[in-house]
Amino acid sequence: MLRVKDGDMDAFELLVERYKRPVINFIFRTLKDATEAEDLAQNVFVQVHKSAHRYKVTAKFTTWLFTIARNLTLNEIRRRTRHPASSMDAAHPEFDDQPIRQYEDNRTASPPDATLSGELEDKIAEAVAALPENQRTAMLLCQQGDVSYEDISSIIGCTLSATKSLIHRARETLKQQLKPYLRTGAWREGAQH
């Protein structure tokens, strides 16, 4: 990040490559829209680049990064509640028959397993998206694994004990929502593939 502060674009590129997945996932699991998640994630990194001159070594980069990501996501949620819009696939500006973005299809499961796997993943995603924002943010950041409880509390602006309480409540809610899958062990069968 210090190199980015000095204007090193190669360093910035490394930063983007390293953190694009967690940032996009974080936004995607709130907005449930892959295109919006990418656009917002791009704005996050642009904001990081613009504000690089203000970065201090004492601040942890992931805390700063996810604070920006959370703020932009919250802005988008507020904008959506004020101006609900219908989603549509954006066409390429030059070629009408091609999408503006091309994604690789990494799914390799056979059709029956794919159905079960897809249904379970949809249920999990729905349950997470249905959580209150602060619980979901705290739980997702905790799930990341490389963000400490102290950093999570800085990002969401709560005390440490309040943050742990949010995570606990989120997990209790999810356990209730996903109880049928926990009991049947469907997660075990899906995990084998």
Partner 1 sequence: MSESEYQKLLELKLQRPLLPEEQSRLDDLVSQHPEIRDHWDEEMQLCQLLNRLPDAPISSNFTVQTLAAAQSESAPKRVSDRPRLFGWLSLRWVQSATVTAAAMAAAWILYDQKQSAGRAQMAGELAQFSSAALAVDPEKADVNLDALMNYDVITRLENHPIVDDDLLAVLEQE
Residues that bind partner 1 (CB under 8 A): 9, 12-13, 16-17, 20-21, 24-25, 27-29, 34, 37-38, 41-42, 45-46, 49-50, 101-104, 117, 120-121, 124-125, 128, 142-143, 145, 148-149, 164, 167, 171, 174-175, 178, 181-182, 187-188, 190-191
Give the residue with the Cβ less far from partner 1, 10 or 82. 10
SS3 call for 142: helix
Q: Specify the length of the chain in residues.
A: 193
Amino acid type, 59 = A
Give the residue with the Cβ less far from partner 1, 74 or 129. 129
Closest distance between partner 1 and the C-beta of residue 61, in Å? 16
- Quick one: tokens of 33? 């829209």
Closest distance between partner 1 and the C-beta of residue 158, in Å? 15
Give the residue with the Cβ less far from partner 1, 120 or 158. 120
Give the residue with the Cβ less far from partner 1, 37 or 68. 37
Task: State the greatest distance between any 2 C-alpha atoms of the chain, in Å, as a whole number.
Answer: 54
Q: Which residues pair with 91 in a beta bridge?
A: 99
* DSSP-derived secondary structure for 143-164: HHSSS-HHHHHHHHT--HHHHH
Closest distance between partner 1 and the C-beta of residue 106, in Å? 8
Closest distance between partner 1 and the C-beta of residue 49, in Å? 4
The single residue listed with the structure tokens 């509640």 is 81
Give the residue with the Cβ less far from partner 1, 82 or 111. 111
- Non-local (6+) Cβ contacts of 64 within 8 A are 48, 55
Nearest to 154 by CA among 22, 64, 40: 64
**What is the phi/psi pair of residue 13, to 5°?**
-65, -40
Closest distance between partner 1 and the C-beta of residue 21, in Å? 7
